[in-house]
A = this chain, B = another copy of it.
Amino acid sequence: MPSVREEALLARTAAPKLAIAGIEEKNQALLAMADALEAGCPDVLKANVLDMEAAAQNGMPQSMQDRLRLDEKRVAGMAQGIRQVAQLPDPIGKVESAWVRPNGLRIAKMRVPLGVIGMIYEARPNVTSDSAALCIKSGNAVVLRGGSEAIHSNRAIVETLRAALKKTALPEDAIVLLSDPSRQAAAEMMALHGIIDVLIPRGGAGLIRSVVEQARVPVIETGTGVCHTYVDAGADLDMALQVVLNAKMSRPSVCNAMETLLVDERVAEAFLPMAVQALHQAGCEVRGCTRTLALCPDCIAATEADWDCEYNDTILSIRVVDGLEGALSHIAQHSTRHSEAIITRDYGRAERFLNQVDAAAVYVNASTRFTDGGEFGFGAEIGISTQKLHARGPVGLEQLTTNKYVIRGDGQIR
């Protein structure tokens, strides 16, 4: 078996060809990949059966088995996802600014690919095709390390995609799947400074923490969201109820779902009994602070640990706070700086919230669920960055690029 380093070097060698590929070449490759994935669906499904059998034998939790399972519809969805990426504009070659210096040097700041992107993820096979498509469109080669639970599915998908690339102008090593899906292989990959330009972990908090702690390669940290919605005394309470229900219940398992509701003490009595009843009816468990429990005795008592918990589930913690100051102070202490919202009709407090809350996305009168590449209009995303360096918020095609300064002179010396 080739080493992790040898496999990553294949992608490194392919990267310069990707970097100078034109938009037509890249789009033709993407469409060929999508077609091949649909045509190769039987092989992919056969491989997936092997993974599913192993998962059942190893007693994998049902929710994880759901994410691992492929069927014709899901494979068709993956192909469709690739075609959508083909339709997006090319992020490469765009000159963001250009200027002339007094000495006559003409400087242009141009978008170029990062080079080689490393993806470390878990048991969702669709991440394999999504990542490959986004990386190719942005002119990058990709090294994929999917979880061992999905190894047969991933191998079948990558073989199909590489076979498709072989018939195009792009090198098949634009997509490299590590042969070895072990943790040891992932650790080796994280040390490939100079070969892999950036690592993007996709998965649970444990995976992301381990990558941040171990990696020598720069990392884009994605995905942890302890998101708050603060219902201010100035709120339209009907709007607040709709936003709260949506932020918590429309898809509780994702990072932009609300985990904690903060309510101004001045509207707690008017808002909380109604809100808790609606949440209970929608199937949500509610854990409240003492003041919440006094108004809604049918809630469970929250503990200190609840304020820092990303449930990713139909559970919500509620805290009554002393107005905007109380909300800002709670958020400063417990936010993961992903997405935070205020519901209010008060102009001054809305502006203070937007100005003072430190998060990738700050909202007035809207659900935190909108923090998403598609909803922002980016077309596609590879995750939501919660770090401040390089990319903050949805990581779309543009965030998979860097810049190069192109400087034209006529003999200038310094």
| Chain A interface residues toward B at CB < 8 A | 16, 19-20, 99, 101, 105, 107, 112, 114-115, 193, 197-198, 212-213, 216, 218-220, 236, 239, 242-243, 245-247, 250, 332, 350, 354-356, 358-367, 369-371, 375-377, 387-390, 392-393, 402-414
Known: A101-B377, A375-B101, A387-B218. A407 touches B363 (CB 8 A): yes
B243:A367 contact, CB within 8 angstroms:
no
The 9 closest A-B pairs by CB, nearest first: A366-B409, A246-B413, A390-B390, A388-B402, A239-B411, A218-B389, A366-B412, A369-B414, A361-B405
Rounded to whole angstroms, the CA-CA distance of A52 and B68 in the bound complex is 65
B358:A388 contact, CB within 8 angstroms:
no
A255 nearest CB across to chain B (Å): 14
A193 to chain B: closest residue by CB: B212
Known: A218-B219, A404-B392, A405-B393. A19 touches B365 (CB 8 A): no
Q: Report chain B residues within 8 Å CB of A20.
A: 355-356
Rounded to whole angstroms, the CA-CA distance of A246 and B411 in the bound complex is 11
Rounded to whole angstroms, the CA-CA distance of A406 and B376 in the bound complex is 11
Q: Report chain B residues within 8 Å CB of A403.
A: 392-393
A413:B361 contact, CB within 8 angstroms:
no
Q: List 13 A-B contacts (CB under 8 A).
A: A16-B358, A105-B370, A198-B388, A198-B389, A218-B387, A242-B411, A250-B413, A350-B408, A354-B406, A364-B409, A365-B409, A392-B403, A392-B404
A10 nearest CB across to chain B (Å): 16
A115 nearest CB across to chain B (Å): 7
A307 nearest CB across to chain B (Å): 16
- 8 Å CB contact of A250 from B358, B361, B388, B414: B414
Q: Report chain B residues within 8 Å CB of A19.
A: 356, 358
B410:A365 contact, CB within 8 angstroms:
yes
Kindly name the residue among A359, A388, A403 whose own CB sees the greatest number of chain B CB atoms within 10 A.
Answer: A388
Rounded to whole angstroms, the CA-CA distance of A114 and B388 in the bound complex is 6
A246 to chain B: closest residue by CB: B413
Q: Report chain B residues within 8 Å CB of A236.
A: 411
A114 nearest CB across to chain B (Å): 5
A375 nearest CB across to chain B (Å): 7
A66 nearest CB across to chain B (Å): 22
B404:A361 contact, CB within 8 angstroms:
yes
A275 nearest CB across to chain B (Å): 15
B239:A360 contact, CB within 8 angstroms:
no
Known: A19-B358, A20-B355, A362-B407. A107 touches B414 (CB 8 A): no
Rounded to whole angstroms, the CA-CA distance of A175 and B146 in the bound complex is 43
Rounded to whole angstroms, the CA-CA distance of A413 and B229 in the bound complex is 13
Q: Report chain B residues within 8 Å CB of A371.
A: 405
Q: Report chain B residues within 8 Å CB of A363.
A: 407-409
A405 to chain B: closest residue by CB: B361
- 8 Å CB contact of A411 from B105, B219, B243: B243
A343 nearest CB across to chain B (Å): 8
B356:A16 contact, CB within 8 angstroms:
yes
Q: Report chain B residues within 8 Å CB of A219.
A: 218
A159 nearest CB across to chain B (Å): 29
Rounded to whole angstroms, the CA-CA distance of A392 and B376 in the bound complex is 26
Rounded to whole angstroms, the CA-CA distance of A360 and B107 in the bound complex is 12
A354 to chain B: closest residue by CB: B406
A360:B405 contact, CB within 8 angstroms:
yes
B243:A413 contact, CB within 8 angstroms:
yes
A115-B358, A218-B219, A218-B388 known; 17 new pairs, CB 8 Å cut-off, are A101-B375, A105-B370, A197-B388, A197-B389, A198-B388, A212-B216, A218-B387, A218-B389, A247-B413, A361-B404, A364-B408, A365-B412, A366-B413, A370-B407, A375-B414, A388-B402, A389-B390
